Chains A and B, each alone.
Chain A
Amino acid sequence: MNAEHPVENIHKKKIVFNPGKLLSSPGNLLTAVILAVGLCITILRFTKGLGGVTNLDDNYPWGIWISFDLLCGVVLAAGGYATTSAYYLFGLKGFGTAVRPAVTSAFLGYAFVVVALHYDVGQPWRLVYPIFFSPGTTSVLYEVGLCVFLYVSVLAIEWSVAAFEWLGWKSIRNVIVRLTIPLTVLGVILSTMHQSSLGALYLIAPSKMHPLWYSSFLPVFFFISSMFAGMSMVIFEGTLAHKGLHDQMDAAHLQHADKVVFGFGKAASIVMIGYLFIRIFGIAMDNNWSYLATGYGSWLMVELGVFVALPAFLYAIGVRERKAGVIRCAAAMTVLGVVINRFNVSLVAFNWQLPSAEKYLPSWMEIAISVFVVTLIVTAYRFICTYMPVLREHPDYEAH
């Protein structure tokens, strides 16, 4: 490897499997333990059924696997459509270096949402039925399923450019590059549809949800929050990639990192303030002011004050003062805030009138499977970034 340009010849790196070396670092050892425990619970799940590993019941047919793996997984993968539309559709050329990392993480995020869904549905082998055999065209869940199915396919094609460059399959790579704009447009349309429809799923349960979180505007809340969640996730992932995969980045990626941070920081700030206003309009429309004086009201104010208004302000300060560190801190808070919001909608506000003894708490095995899925995503992301031209340009191809 060239000492002056450490990433110049990195694309020629061969895959070497050396278990002894792999398990020598504490991080890899921890990963191996998580994957081993996850595999054991996977066997339990598919031999004993949902009852063998989860605390789900008739009151809570959807638990942490839907709240975290699906709702949070989908919203945090929104960086794919946010970045591709900024670069390819709006012509913001400063975001070029963020496109491939964002598409890679979005593809992995959605792919593992589908993997996680196999754990959660009672008969996973029938997961394809709504798409190919019995479409329920009047169902919101059908729309979510169809959009996710199509969007995973779109992301797989968009992401495959990096894989084909790595494999050296030039002709098929060039064909896909010509499809970039139509794929981006399709990705934005599908994301708009299913991000909002995930909120629309909860419109069916007005009597079960707390009035502060139930609103006929839930689809709008979900879609708008996906915009700033995606942007924040791109900043957050970029920060982690700079720490863990710094040696895989070329000069352009290192140079443009702050441009992406400031650009998305500014956009996220204005979108978050708009989101804060429409959440307040939602309370005004249903005249739910009296609930703000309750415990649930305090929790809502924490969600909106600490995890929406404060990061929006920090983003603005970071952009005004040109402080990338403040923006990165705001991005981490926003990501956490979006996770809290999805948990609030799907678990905290759901069945709020039930006595505490009947409320759902996930079993340790449900949490372990969620950790297992996240670990799989991180492992796959590291593998892809190590071998494929994601955080660097491939010298044999022009940027598109």
Chain B
Amino acid sequence: MENIFYSLHDFYICTKSMTYIAMGLGVLGLLGWWLFLTGRDETIRKY
């Protein structure tokens, strides 16, 4: 992406926004990955 930033503030608004969105997707991705990883584990009930 060849964005032109005229101030450091602009740069951070853009990059931090993208990173926070990516982090949200990452959390969902990790949750999905964990479900995939443990999908065939035997359920252990301790109650």
Residues of A within 8 A of B (CB): 266, 269-270, 273-274, 277, 280-281, 284-287, 289-290, 316, 319-321
A sample of 20 cross-chain residue pairs with beta-carbon separation below 8 angstroms, ordered by A number, consists of A266-B38, A269-B33, A273-B30, A277-B26, A280-B22, A281-B26, A284-B15, A284-B18, A284-B19, A284-B22, A285-B15, A287-B3, A287-B18, A289-B1, A316-B33, A316-B37, A319-B37, A320-B36, A320-B39, A321-B40
What's the nearest-Cβ distance from chain A to residue B9, in Å? 14
What's the nearest-Cβ distance from chain A to residue B22, in Å? 5
Given contacts A266-B37, A270-B37, A285 and B11 within 8 Å (CB-CB): no
- Of A281, A290, A319, the residue contacting B22 (CB under 8 A) is A281
Contacts of A289 in B (CB 8 A): 1
Interface of A is mostly: helix
Q: A270–B23 Cα gap in the complex (Å)? A: 16
What's the nearest-Cβ distance from chain B to residue A167, in Å? 43
Q: A7–B18 Cα gap in the complex (Å)? A: 59
| Chain B positions 20 through 46: 1 when the CB is less than 8 Å from some CB of chain A, otherwise 0 | 001100100110011011111000000
What's the nearest-Cβ distance from chain A to residue B11, in Å? 7
Given contacts A316-B37, A319-B37, A320-B39, A285 and B29 within 8 Å (CB-CB): no
Contact A281 B19 (CB under 8 A): yes
* A265 nearest CB neighbor, chain B only: B37
Contacts of A290 in B (CB 8 A): 1-2
What's the nearest-Cβ distance from chain A to residue B12, in Å? 9
Q: A277–B33 Cα gap in the complex (Å)? A: 12
Contacts of A277 in B (CB 8 A): 22-23, 26, 29-30
Q: A273–B32 Cα gap in the complex (Å)? A: 11
Contacts of A270 in B (CB 8 A): 30, 33-34, 37
Interface of B is mostly: helix
Contacts of A280 in B (CB 8 A): 22, 26
Contact B23 A269 (CB under 8 A): no
What's the nearest-Cβ distance from chain A to residue B28, in Å? 11
Q: A290–B36 Cα gap in the complex (Å)? A: 32
Contacts of A316 in B (CB 8 A): 33, 36-37
Q: A320–B16 Cα gap in the complex (Å)? A: 36
* B39 nearest CB neighbor, chain A only: A320
Contact A320 B29 (CB under 8 A): no
Q: A246–B1 Cα gap in the complex (Å)? A: 54
Enumerate the 10 nearest inter-chain pairs by beta-carbon distance, A residue then B residue, closest first.
A277-B26, A284-B19, A284-B18, A287-B15, A320-B40, A289-B1, A273-B33, A316-B37, A285-B19, A281-B19
Q: A280–B2 Cα gap in the complex (Å)? A: 18
Contact A320 B2 (CB under 8 A): no
Contacts of A273 in B (CB 8 A): 29-30, 33
Contacts of B15 in A (CB 8 A): 284-287
What's the nearest-Cβ distance from chain B to residue A274, in Å? 6
Given contacts A289-B1, A320-B36, A320-B39, A274 and B30 within 8 Å (CB-CB): yes
Which of B2, B3, B15 is most buried by chain A, counting CB atoms within 10 A of its CB?
B15
Q: A319–B40 Cα gap in the complex (Å)? A: 9
Contact A285 B37 (CB under 8 A): no
Contact A285 B16 (CB under 8 A): yes
Q: A79–B3 Cα gap in the complex (Å)? A: 43
Q: A128–B35 Cα gap in the complex (Å)? A: 50
What's the nearest-Cβ distance from chain B to residue A360, in Å? 32
Which of A266, A284, A285, A319 is most buried by chain B, counting CB atoms within 10 A of its CB?
A284
What's the nearest-Cβ distance from chain B to residue A327, in Å? 12
Q: A394–B39 Cα gap in the complex (Å)? A: 39
Contacts of B19 in A (CB 8 A): 281, 284-285
What's the nearest-Cβ distance from chain B to residue A285, in Å? 5
Contacts of B11 in A (CB 8 A): 287
Contacts of B40 in A (CB 8 A): 320-321
Contact B36 A287 (CB under 8 A): no
Q: A286–B14 Cα gap in the complex (Å)? A: 10
